[in-house]
Amino acid sequence: MAGYLARRLAYTILMVFIVTTITFFLSRVIPGNPARKAAGPHATVEQIIAIEKEMGLDLPLHIQYFRYFNQLLHGDLGTSLETHRPVLVDIKEYFTATMELATVSMIITVIFGIPLGVISAIKQNSLVDHITRLVSLAGVSIPVFLLALLFQMAVIKNPDIPIAGRVSTIISITNPLKPITGLYLVDSFLTFNWPFFKSALVHIALPAITLACPTLVIIVRMMRANMIEILQLDYIRAARARGIPERRVVYKHAIRNSLLSTITVIGLTYGYTLGGTFLIDALFAWPGLGRYAVNAAQEANYPAIMGVTLLIALVYNIVNFIVDVSYGFLDPRIRLDR
């Protein structure tokens, strides 16, 4: 186990280094002058040149690269050119909103996706199976932005279901939240602030369901395919021949083995969701990392771009590590120390 952890740590450091390096040089290709944007539209050439020197943009690219990594090793992600705050502070604020949205979305995916896939496989070619496959096909075919607009149009006349924001402005004033983790649902639950909890829950419902739909149908289809394949294997037939109850055959043997590849997809999807909520952030006015990243790219905000990229790379590697460790619990034949 210790050897495996050491290898994964080395792999994570290498991957983060590669991703950060590539992003550093690619970000310099983005059209626009950060110094000009920081100076404002009425700045003189002399003022822009002075800001370029202050930001180190007049230095050779490789010198800028080494300076950035030196700051990074000291825990400094730089200062955002847009908010003029430390990038670490900005990321903490926006990432918690994205993490909460992605987590709720993934909970919806797992709660509904795995059981639907199992039921569809057990009742193969039945009416339930055909309906599940049809809905899954429709879910894969409809773009996320169109799905979001359809959901918004469906509930727009219902004042109890908000279509934008993270919490009601009135609730945030009358029942202010005491921040602990930055996750509204968790903090309001821990502090017993039930009006705030209810408001945060109804606000996150629509964007979370929208974000969950594409991944939900993928999990359903994959779980169904895995279950159908495993239910036809010899050891399943042997278990049935020995008179083992069908429920035990399905839940103890078939589902457990079907989850191996499904968990990989769930883990990768969660990592992707954390860094890919751009459309959801825009359509539901969600103050997440996606909106922050898009604004950073549009404004050639180098420190913010690098900070977001570094965070996403770390999240992907952490999620992959958790997935790999979970294999050892689901399948005793897999040993992490090999």
CATH number of the CATH domain containing 273: 1.10.3720.10
Residue 99 near residue 91 (C-beta atoms within 8 A): no
Question: Got the DSSP string for 254-303?
Answer: IHHHHHHHHHHHHHHHHHHHHH--HHHHHHTT--SHHHHHHHHHHTT-HH
Q: How far is CA 122 from the centre of its chain?
A: 31
Residue 234 near residue 253 (C-beta atoms within 8 A): no
Q: What is the residue range of 271's domain?
A: 94-291
Is position 132 within any domain? yes
Is position 200 within any domain? yes
Is position 12 within any domain? no
Residue 197 near residue 183 (C-beta atoms within 8 A): no
Per-residue pLDDT, 23: 84
Is position 110 within any domain? yes
Is position 87 within any domain? no
pTM assigned to the model: 0.82
- Those residues whose C-beta lies under 8 Å from the C-beta of residue 80, and which sit 6 or more positions away, are 86, 87, 90, 296, 301, 303, 304
Per-residue pLDDT, 321: 78
How many other β-carbons are positioned within 10 Å of the β-carbon of residue 154? 12
Per-residue pLDDT, 235: 84
Is position 300 within any domain? no
Per-residue pLDDT, 258: 83
Is position 23 within any domain? no
Per-residue pLDDT, 15: 84
CA–CA separation, 98 vs 277, rounded Å? 8
The sign of the dihedral angle between the CA atoms of 305, 289, 310, 217 is negative
Total domains in the chain come to: 1
Reading the chain (338 residues) residue by residue, the pLDDT tens digits are: 677 678 877 887 888 888 888 888 887 777 767 777 777 777 788 888 887 787 777 788 888 888 888 888 888 888 887 888 889 989 888 889 999 999 999 999 999 999 999 999 888 888 888 898 888 888 778 888 888 889 899 888 888 889 888 999 999 999 999 989 889 999 999 999 999 999 999 999 999 999 998 888 889 988 998 888 888 888 888 888 888 888 888 887 788 778 877 888 888 788 777 766 778 888 898 988 888 888 888 877 888 888 888 888 888 888 877 777 776 666 666 655 55
Is position 261 within any domain? yes
Q: Where are the alpha helices (DSSP H) in the chain?
A: 2-27, 34-39, 45-55, 61-73, 87-122, 127-141, 144-155, 169-174, 184-190, 194-231, 234-241, 246-248, 255-275, 278-283, 289-298, 302-330
